[in-house]
Structure 1
Amino acid sequence: MATVERRRWRGRTALTLLCASALLAVSGVLGTPGAAQAAPLPEPGAKSLEQVRKEIDDLYRQAGTATDAYNLAESETKAQSAKIVEIAKQVVAGQDQITALKNRAGAAARAQYRSGGMPAGAQLALSGSPGQFLDGTDRLRQGAKATTDLLAEMNRTQSALQQYAKDASEQWQKLEANRVKQAVSKKEIEDKIKAAEELESKLQAEEKARLLQLEHDAQYKAQAAWLSTGVLKELNASASESGRKAVQFASAQIGKPYVWGAQGPGAFDCSGLTSQAWLSAGKAIPRTSQEQLRLLPKVALKDMRPGDLIIYFDDASHVALYVGDGAIIHAPRPGRNVTLAGAGSMPIKAVVRPDA
């Protein structure tokens, strides 16, 4: 009986080890890259699976660049819409002021009518008393100043209204231009994603599994090369309180899907994740990876700490949140989920710090 139990135990152990090996083979970051299964001989002129992988990666990269352009146009559109609303409020206030000034001018005209319609200067000349004359002179001077001030204020308000109208026209033109940019970027994104998905859809299930393995192998190779420089020996800075909160937020999003243009709560694109992570830490940062690179303070790689943002690729089309120990959390691309990855698994362009 004991012999039977030992055999069962050995069988279960072997099955466990087999499952663990399969998981490690596709882990990319956590384990060594698995060996891709032997590919069948390609047809003459057919693309290799590695060529297909690179083509798909390029398409998703291009979609990422277009997504950044779309997101920037969208944020600018929101800002311009808010500006137009503010201008509209200023126009209403200016029109109310004009109405008030006209009422004051009307009141002055009605007062003159009640005095017999005689100009104030004529009334002053006909006064029979030196005291009345002096009092009248003072009132005439005050009245003249009030009239001058009233006219000047009306002119200023009219000029302001004209400027508001000009500003509103300019903002509408920018708004329309950004809507065009959004439409162009959206079509480019959809076209690139569709092309990538069509390439992948032509693969058999076994080829898709090998494609994923090739993707993980490439990431592992890049991460191993980055770590071989000894970079982790220098990366020992602790996260700030805000950085710690940003990391906590990003960690809670692991497993949620990448959707271009998304900022949560159910899905994210790369900069949507990083901007929302820092917003949760009380710091509003630019929406796109390119604007995050342009506007946030840069730090040296050796000074990087958890919570910092790593900008990737020459065109700054991707961004991730550094979480320590050589790892990042990011939203990779369509068809993938928010995940933990190696910080060196992609070409690093710069490191920026939202709370510098």
Structure 2
Amino acid sequence: MAAHRKRKQRRLTGPTGRTAATLAIAGAATAGAATPAHGEPRLTPAQVRAKIDGLYEEAEAATERYNGAKEKADEARASLTELRDEAARRTDRLNAARDALGSVAAAQYRGGTGGLDPAVQLALSSGPDEFLERAGLAERAGARQAAMVTGIRKELASVAQLRDRAEGRLGEFEARRAELARHKATVRKKLDSAQALLDRLTAPERARYTQEVRNSPYGAYTAHAGRATARGALLAPDSRAAAAVAYAYGAIGKPYAWGATGPGAFDCSGLTQAAWRAAGVALPRTTYTQISAGRQITRDRLAPGDLVFFFSGVSHVGIYVGGGQMIHAPRPGSAVRMAPVDEMPFAGATRPA
């Protein structure tokens, strides 16, 4: 029985014990880093890619909300500046009117006629003619003074109203700015989450994913692009659509940057806005306003220059160039490129007026 008794392990002390403990802790930390936490199953590369794609789609929707909030914040800021400038101009006029009124009152006081009884004025005058002349001047001065007082009252009311409107617009601007910050934080959070998922891929997986995104069969600007531009321009319904298509071809290869409207980088609605701006047409800033900026077109009636929208929330837009193809700014980490219209869930199309 004694032969089977478990040997008592000797406890390590001193430097030898500390070294062993350090190695044990390091080993445990390494094992913990290599193994996902309980309840967080390791995703396959395909699942990671799908989640990244979903996060980028959500980031793009948040980007469009950011663009809309920025547009409204810019409008509120411009309106606030205009109101403040107008209030300042009115205040200057008000001060000038007050100075003029003071000058009239001082002149009346110095002339000694402003508050004298007519009988006293007659007694002091050298004759009836002088009295009548003074009385006429006083009457005219009184009428002018009354008109000036009325004008000052109106100016005071106008300045007060302008200041109230400026205060209201200031409150709106602050609200828009807070909204802008929220949407910007949402975009950043989505992009950071996508990057964290990318970081979970091994180096070969990440390289393969990046290659798939950047080198789509429709992503390269080939030697035939010039001919494609000419063909798209010929098929465009008018010269403005042809100009928009030509601009879109010229943007191929430029990077995606959220909130950007060119000329060096674009987000999706920034690209379509810039393309049509080059054609002399002012489009709204966001996908969900651009879809209403023109005539609705069915998919089978698409022509080069038409705007094509995707996803149920109308969160992405491209510019149709013919042959079932569009040019669009896909998402962060990519560049403006060509792609088939059926690459994403189709939501509608518009022909800008």
Following superposition, the deviation at residue 140 of structure 1 comes to 5.0
| Residue aligning to 1:250 | 248
Matched, 1:342 2:353: no
Following superposition, the deviation at residue 297 of structure 1 comes to 4.1
* 2:122 and 2:128 in contact (8 A); partners too: no
| Residue aligning to 1:78 | 74
| Residue aligning to 2:101 | 105
Following superposition, the deviation at residue 338 of structure 1 comes to 0.6
Following superposition, the deviation at residue 348 of structure 1 comes to 1.9
Choose 111-120 or 205-214, whichever is displaced more: 205-214
Following superposition, the deviation at residue 46 of structure 1 comes to 4.3
Following superposition, the deviation at residue 136 of structure 1 comes to 6.0
Quick one: which amino acid aligns to residue 281 of structure 2? K
Q: Distance in 1 between matches of 2:131 and 2:147?
A: 24
| Residue aligning to 1:173 | 171
| Residue aligning to 2:62 | 66
TM-score (norm 2): 0.74
| Residue aligning to 1:182 | 180
* 2:45 and 2:201 in contact (8 A); partners too: no
How many residues are matched? 297
- In our comparison, the structure showing a higher alpha carbon Rg is 2
1:349 is paired with a residue of what secondary structure?
strand
2:342 is paired with a residue of what secondary structure?
coil
Choose 132-141 or 202-211, whichever is displaced more: 132-141
Quick one: which amino acid aligns to residue 320 of structure 2? Y
Choose 112-121 or 59-68, whichever is displaced more: 112-121
* 1:50 and 1:211 in contact (8 A); partners too: no
Q: Distance in 1 between matches of 2:275 and 2:117?
A: 73
Quick one: which amino acid aligns to residue 165 of structure 2? D
| Residue aligning to 2:278 | 280
Following superposition, the deviation at residue 322 of structure 1 comes to 1.0
Q: Deviations over 1:216-269 (max 9, x none)?
A: 9x999xxxxxxxxxxxxxxx9633211111111111111111111112222111
1:328 is paired with a residue of what secondary structure?
strand
Q: CA distance change for structure 1 residues 124 and 345 in 2, over 3 Å: closer, same or farther?
A: farther
* 1:50 and 1:214 in contact (8 A); partners too: no
Q: CA distance change for structure 1 residues 155 and 302 in 2, over 3 Å: closer, same or farther?
A: farther
Which stretches in structure 1 are left out of the alignment for 5+ residues? 1-43, 221-235
| Residue aligning to 1:17 | none
* 2:256 and 2:266 in contact (8 A); partners too: yes
Q: CA distance change for structure 1 residues 120 and 63 in 2, over 3 Å: closer, same or farther?
A: farther
Q: CA distance change for structure 1 residues 149 and 63 in 2, over 3 Å: closer, same or farther?
A: same
Quick one: which amino acid aligns to residue 54 of structure 1? A
TM-score (norm 1): 0.74
2:309 is paired with a residue of what secondary structure?
strand
| Residue aligning to 2:237 | 239
Choose 329-338 or 118-127, whichever is displaced more: 118-127
Following superposition, the deviation at residue 50 of structure 1 comes to 3.8
Matched, 1:159 2:179: no
Q: CA distance change for structure 1 residues 246 and 353 in 2, over 3 Å: closer, same or farther?
A: same
* 1:121 and 1:140 in contact (8 A); partners too: no
| Residue aligning to 1:21 | none
Please, what is the CA RMSD of the aligned residues? 3.1
Q: Distance in 2 between matches of 1:133 and 1:203?
A: 104
| Counterpart among 112, 117, 121 of residue 116 in structure 1 | 112
Q: CA distance change for structure 1 residues 134 and 348 in 2, over 3 Å: closer, same or farther?
A: farther
* 2:247 and 2:278 in contact (8 A); partners too: yes
Q: Deviations over 1:23-43 (max 9, x none)?
A: xxxxxxxxxxxxxxxxxxxxx
Following superposition, the deviation at residue 119 of structure 1 comes to 2.5
| Residue aligning to 2:199 | 201
Q: Deviations over 1:143-184 (max 9, x none)?
A: 343223211211111111111211221222122112211221
Following superposition, the deviation at residue 329 of structure 1 comes to 0.3
| Residue aligning to 1:301 | 299
Q: Distance in 2 between matches of 1:243 and 1:118?
A: 74
Following superposition, the deviation at residue 270 of structure 1 comes to 0.5
* 2:268 and 2:317 in contact (8 A); partners too: yes
Q: Distance in 2 between matches of 1:118 and 1:315?
A: 74
Choose 311-320 or 107-116, whichever is displaced more: 107-116
* 2:268 and 2:316 in contact (8 A); partners too: yes
| Residue aligning to 1:192 | 190
Quick one: which amino acid aligns to residue 162 of structure 2? Y
Following superposition, the deviation at residue 211 of structure 1 comes to 4.8
Following superposition, the deviation at residue 135 of structure 1 comes to 5.9
Q: Distance in 2 between matches of 1:61 and 1:256?
A: 20
2:255 is paired with a residue of what secondary structure?
coil
Quick one: which amino acid aligns to residue 75 of structure 1? E
